[in-house]
Amino acid sequence: MEVIRAEAMGLCFGVRQALECVAAVGDPTAVTVYGELVHNETVNRGLARRGFRRLDEQRRGQALPETPLVLITAHGISDSERARLCGAGLRLVDTTCPLVRRAHDAALGLQSEGCYVLVIGRRGHVEVQGLIGDLPRAEVVESAAEVRCYHQEKIGVLCQTTSSDALVRSVLEAVTARNPGSEVRFVDTVCRPTRERQQALDRLLPLVDALVVVGGRNSRNTRELAESARARGVPAYRIECAAELHPGWFQDCRAVGLTAGTSALDETIEEVHRALLQAPVAGFQVPGFRTEVLGTGPGNLYAEPGA
Ligand code: SF4
């Protein structure tokens, strides 16, 4: 079986910068990571072993860390939250990705122009919560189906940085169609690494019979890569590590594609690649592979191994 890698995949520069920053911390016990540094359990377990504390993502904005230093993740926080933390005497180690900052600037800019702001993204996602945290007149839109008439003179639209172009396009069309009397302004805040990964996937899909996507279970961009493949009729399997590969998935495959979300470590991708290369076309058994039946045969377009 041939394994074809996407031309762009894996860790983005924003996450790499955050990882470099934590690697340089001398006394991890003095630092609380404000949520998940990346949506990658291997990384998070490694941080815990080094002594970093972690505040649960759902408690951001409510609890105050007990350590003197707080590490803001690449997903960023709102200015009001920043002020709350600093007001409590905490010092911030800020690894907010510059492209997330750009999205914050776009949101504030649209607001200052008098727009009612729509953020295309996932409601509970920490980046989105940060984006709307400073906006009194804003709401989150997850899909075109949610779009309504907002009865606003001006509507400003931006996106979570990891949104897919297809989603953004469909929501924008719906906003325009359902608000014919409004002026609609759009700032494209999808980040370049996300777009490069999506475009690389577009080139990869016609070449393969199935797709393996490496990345964290909570990683939105990982999920979207798999969903893109599914929407185009290519079975897609999301895994966090090579041990989650299942022998039955590739029985009729001549070529399998490999891609990864922005939270996947290089070594994990390489491990998965090596494991796939060892896979015979039918009924392979490779040490470390799970062999139980998951009900995720070739007829399934999408599987959540281990879920
Ligand atoms: S996915 Fe994009 S916005 Fe998010 S950390 Fe990576 S480069 Fe930055």
In the chain, domain spans? 2-9+194-303, 13-97, 99-190
Q: Which atom of ligand 1 is nearest to the CA of 100?
A: 3
Q: Which fold has domain 13-97?
A: Rossmann fold (3.40.50)
Q: Which of the four pLDDT bands, split at 50, 70 and 90, describes residue 280?
A: low
Q: At the top level of CATH, which class does the domain 99-190 belong to?
A: alpha beta
Task: Give the integer Cα–Cα distance in Å for 147 and 143.
Answer: 7
> Nearest to residue 236, comparing CAs of 292, 190, 303?
303
Q: Report in angstroms the alpha-carbon separations of 6 from 196, 259, 271.
A: 10, 5, 15
pLDDT one-digit tens code per residue, 96-130: 999 999 999 999 999 999 999 999 999 989 999 99
Q: Which atom of ligand 1 is nearest to the CA of 97?
A: 8
Name the closest-CA residue to atom 8, ligand 1: 14
pLDDT one-digit tens code per residue, 62-75: 889 999 999 999 99
Question: Do the beta carbons of residue 90 and residue 65 sit within 8 Å?
Answer: yes
Q: Give Cβ neighbours of residue 232 (< 8 Å, ≥ 6 apart).
A: 205
Residue 74 CA to ligand 1 centre (angstroms): 7
User: For residue 38, what pLDDT is reported?
Assistant: 86
Q: Which of the four pLDDT bands, split at 50, 70 and 90, describes residue 52?
A: very high
Residue 162 CA to ligand 1 centre (angstroms): 7
Instruction: Indicate the average pLDDT of the chain.
Output: 89
What CATH number matches the domain at 2-9+194-303, 3.40.50.960, 1.10.10.10, 3.10.20.30, 3.40.1010.20?
Answer: 3.40.1010.20
Q: Which of 9, 11, 13 to mutate to test the pocket of ligand 1 (most atoms within 8 A of CB)?
A: 13
Q: Which atom of ligand 1 is nearest to the CA of 162?
A: 1
Which residues surround ligand 1 with Cβ inside 6 Å?
Answer: 12-15, 74, 97, 99-100, 161-162, 191, 193-194, 262
CATH topology agreement for domains 2-9+194-303 and 13-97: no
pLDDT one-digit tens code per residue, 183-234: 999 999 999 999 999 999 999 999 999 999 999 888 878 988 999 999 999 9
Q: Give Cβ neighbours of residue 3 (< 8 Å, ≥ 6 apart).
A: 255, 256, 257, 258, 273, 276, 277
> Percent of the chain having pLDDT more than 70?
91
Residue 224 CA to ligand 1 centre (angstroms): 14
Q: Which atom of ligand 1 is nearest to the CA of 161?
A: 3
Residue 15 CA to ligand 1 centre (angstroms): 7
Beta partners for 65?
A: none
Name the closest-CA residue to atom 5, ligand 1: 14
Evaluate if residue 18 carries a pLDDT over 60: yes
Query: Which positions are annotated as active-site residues?
Result: 127
